[in-house]
Structure 1
Amino acid sequence: MSLTQRASRTLAVLTVAAVTFAIPAIAIEFRNALDDSPLDLSPIKGETFTDAVKSFHETGTNPYVGNADAIAEGKKIFNDNCQVCHKPDASGGMGPNLIDDVVINPRANTDLGKFEVIHSGAAGAMRPFSKRGMTQDQILKIIAFIDSLKK
């Protein structure tokens, strides 16, 4: 049996074992950047969760990263709401630089952490955009845009 065949067989056995024993999915915890309290991710008035939002709630991975259409939409939303503090290229102004790796809270350097900050606010002038009518889908698109700017 070749190495590839053995690897395929091992993967098949592990997959069956995972299904048989119902290995639970890792629970994603969304936390407030200021006090680490659990976030209320209930939809805002008129918001319907997209498949992308549902997936993000389950995995903590932004399905829009690398999606050209979502990035273009995220850029427009960013320009309308964020660039006044973070500059159009996200290099920082009154708000911090969003494209470098310098952060006060290491979690803020992940898509999950960025989501938490945009959704529910952080220190300084960063107020919760969920209370300004921004949907969770829009937040994910902003994050995809910001991620596209990182070198």
Structure 2
Amino acid sequence: MKNLIPSWVRVPVVFFIIFGLVEYFIDSGDKPAFMEQPIVLLFLLLVLLVLIGIESIVASVDNILYQSLDEAGKARYDAKRSKAPEFKWINNLYKKLLGQKPIKEEHEIILDHNYDGIKELDNNLPPWWIWGFYATIVFAAVYLARYHVFNGENQYQELEAKLAQAKIDIEAYKKTAKNLVDINTVELLTEASDLNAGKTIYEVNCIACHKADGGGGIGPNLADEHWISGGGIKNVFKTVSEGGRAGKGMIAWKQSLKPLEIAQVSSYVLQFQGTSPAEPKAPEGDIWIDPNNPKATTETQETPSDSTQVQ
């Protein structure tokens, strides 16, 4: 009886199914997204079971038909099978993996049991099953030595290592993704391109309240040392993003500007420090001292001024 599934189809399909199952259970880190779905695993298992079922049915029917032939028919059948042109080496390998006796030699392993004409064969276990069993023993020995004798890295340690690496990767990504900047990660921008972008944003949105030279009008003077909500890039970034004092301060610009744009305009605003506006507004708020600059703190404490209020 001719195989319903030829070897050139059967072997590659079985190979890719086994490969897919292995890929599903092994964390390779770059597996396709669909391979992480349980439905894929169930589909592969179903296809594999169907193929095994078809092969079993074909083999059973083939055996029944062969037994029903006379000696001449069996001879013709054997001759036809021996001349089969398709991938003979694959068929031979397939038979070796099954470890079954050829049909014409099955009379050698027939048991004495007879159930209503149904006879039982004393086949050995398939070689693939035996070698698979040996492989599990070897795997168990290596696993025992690796994790219980030499205290190899367990899954919790692997998770901690991956989390630590993920944090490093995130920080590295943030350095190149400026739009992810926030109050905790913002830094003073000094590149000309960023300052020019900040100047453009300032001229469009901020001149009406702070004037072009930062001298202040409706809003406070940006050129002196006094700050209502604190100076420095982090405080200025927060003020621009979240807004000033409730009810009478600047609006929150986070709805209109991107994080990078807020960082750019905040860095530009700090460029007004120490300049001399044409019509400076009177100081408001307190003198802000950079906590990360102890030298500036010491100098301020040594030369206090009656007109300043240290925060």
- State if a TM-score over 0.5 links the two structures: yes
Question: By percentage of residues, which structure has more helix?
Answer: 2
Partner of residue 101, structure 1: 225
Cα distance 1:99–1:55, how it changes in 2: closer, same or farther (>3 A)? Answer: same
**Deviation at residue 59 of structure 1 after TM alignment:** 3.4
1:143 matched to 2:269? The reply is: no
Q: Per-residue displacement from partner, 1:46-102 (whole Å, max 9, x unpaired)?
A: xxxx6234455553423x2x2111111111100000010000111111100112111
Aligned length: 99
The structure 1 segments of at least 4 consecutive aligned residues displaced by more than 4 Å after TM superposition are 55-58
Partner of residue 71, structure 1: 195
In 1, Cα distance between equivalents of 2:228 and 2:195? 26
Partner of residue 81, structure 1: 205
Q: Comparing both chains, which one has the higher relative contact order based on Cα–Cα distances under 8 Å and sequence gaps of 6 or more? A: 1
What are the equivalent positions in structure 2 for 1:107-122 lying under 5 Å apart?
A: 108-122=230-244
Give ranges in structure 1 of 5+ residues lacking alignment: 1-21, 23-49
In 2, Cα distance between equivalents of 1:97 and 1:129? 19
Give ranges in structure 2 of 5+ residues lacking alignment: 1-163, 165-175, 275-311
Q: Per-residue displacement from partner, 1:95-121 (whole Å, max 9, x unpaired)?
A: 00112111233xx21111111111111
What are the equivalent positions in structure 2 for 1:1-151 lying under 5 Å apart?
A: 51-54=177-180, 58-62=184-188, 64=189, 66-105=190-229, 108-123=230-245, 124-131=248-255, 133-151=256-274
**Structure 1 vs Structure 2 CA RMSD:** 2.3
Partner of residue 302, structure 2: none
Q: Is the 8 A contact 2:183 2:234 kept in 1?
A: no
Cα distance 1:53–1:112, how it changes in 2: closer, same or farther (>3 A)? Answer: farther
Q: Is the 8 A contact 2:237 2:263 kept in 1?
A: yes
Identity of aligned residues (%): 26
Q: Quick one: which amino acid aligns to residue 113 of structure 1?
A: N
Normalised to the residue count of structure 1, the TM-score between the two structures is 0.57
Q: Quick one: which amino acid aligns to residue 231 of structure 2?
A: N
Task: Specify the structure having the higher radius of gyration (Cα).
Answer: 2
Normalised to the residue count of structure 2, the TM-score between the two structures is 0.29
